[in-house]
Amino acid sequence: MKTRITELFGIEHPIICGGMLWVTDAKLCAAISEAGGLGCITADQYTSGDALREAIREVKALTDKPFGVNITLMKSFRITEETFMDFFRVCAEEKVANIEVSGLFATDFIPMLHAAGVKITHKVGAVRHAMKIERLGYDAVIVAGVEEGGHPLSDNVATSVLLPKVAESVKIPILATGGMVDGKSMAAALCLGADGIMMATRFLASEECWVHDNIKNWIVQLNETDTDLFCHTTLQARGVKNSVLKKVNELEKNGAEPSEIVRAVSGKKLLQALREGDTEGAAFLFGQSIGRIHEIKSCKAIIDETMAVAEETLRAKAALF
């Protein structure tokens, strides 16, 4: 399948991995790229440009295929503005294929990245933000519906409505995310105007993902009704309905300070819980897509099956006419 996304990144299949704090390491990233998609590492789990460079070189030692870096641009206790600029500089120097930006809309780094041949994309949850991204000179837009894991925009619009509206509003290539797990969702996204898909939660339940087996087996059992939106007073997130999510809801109901909420959902706790397989130890920002993930597979099997089923689905529908 050739689309504007395979052309943009020089990849075989229009499937890219979304940034996942702590989860997307060099091994997972390389496995996705080796399978013909675009793997990714998440810059915000490093505290300096040099540490990110080391991770990028680790990926390069495992694959010579293109891959990307997610940079989640937000006010952070761990990462200074200077370090964020270092992340962009290192990505330009290392000539990664793509930077997936989420959070703030910034532009300072775009000329430097384009001069280095690095593509730059931004994840958005609204038509107005997609139009802004196009105006600012980004190469592609990632359309994230409210189903997505992580931090869906509080406009709360589903991928099925947001995607065709964005496709009618911008000319740059489009990736769909939020609820994308297989060839059926990919076929639907292509029909709604996407040039490719981004999956995140699906790659968590892969053989190459380092997280504890308890977490992967939990994902396979969870249902689409097992996540909820929370953190309404800080930065809205979607997470699994466990005791941490309940505690955050209670804190918010009692008017807790934002700093208390941020402490309750701390990234450090997540890292520990992912390592130990403790499903009650942190806020797990999984997407509603967990309801459609039934097996732990290799990244190659996930990508090959997605492509085969997308093609089969589109051919079967075309044969109706």
Ligand X SMILES: Cc1cc2nc3c(=O)[nH]c(=O)nc-3n(C[C@H](O)[C@H](O)[C@H](O)COP(=O)(O)O)c2cc1C
CA separation for the pair 144, 162 (Å, rounded):
8
186 scored as a contact of ligand X (CB under 6 A)? no
- Write out the binding residues for ligand X, residues 290-319 only, by CB under 6 A: none
Angle at 309 between CA 210 and CA 141, to 5 degrees: 70
Smallest separation (angstroms) from ligand X to the CB of 321: 31
279 scored as a contact of ligand X (CB under 6 A)? no
CB atoms under 10 Å from CB of 93, counted, come to 14
Contacts of 98 (CB under 8 A, 6+ apart): 9, 16, 38, 40, 66, 67, 68, 69, 118, 119, 120, 121
CA separation for the pair 299, 31 (Å, rounded):
6
244 scored as a contact of ligand X (CB under 6 A)? no
148 scored as a contact of ligand X (CB under 6 A)? yes
236 scored as a contact of ligand X (CB under 6 A)? no
Q: Which of 150, 173, 196, 281 binds ligand X (CB under 6 A)?
A: 150
Nearer to ligand X by Cβ, of 20 and 92: the residue is 20
**x-or-dash string of contact with ligand X, 79-108, rule CB under 6 A:** -----------------------x------
Amino acid 221 reads Q
Q: Which stretch binds ligand X (CB under 6 A): 133-141, 167-175, 193-201, 227-235?
A: 193-201
Q: Which of 319, 230, 232, 320 is nearest to 283 (CA)?
A: 230
Q: Which of 38, 41, 285, 303 binds ligand X (CB under 6 A)?
A: 285
Within the chain, strands assigned E span 15-17, 39-42, 67-73, 98-103, 119-124, 140-144, 174-177, 196-199, 227-230, 237-240
70 scored as a contact of ligand X (CB under 6 A)? yes
Q: Which of 129, 115, 47 is nearest to 82 (CA)?
A: 47
Angle between helices 127-136 and 159-167 (to 10 degrees): 40
109 scored as a contact of ligand X (CB under 6 A)? no
Q: Which of 37, 39, 68, 179 binds ligand X (CB under 6 A)?
A: 179
What the block records as the tokens of 184 is 């059926």
72 scored as a contact of ligand X (CB under 6 A)? yes
239 scored as a contact of ligand X (CB under 6 A)? no
180 scored as a contact of ligand X (CB under 6 A)? yes
- Where do contacts with ligand X occur on this chain (CB under 6 A)? 18-21, 23, 42, 44, 70, 72, 102, 123, 144, 147-150, 177-180, 199-202, 285-287, 289
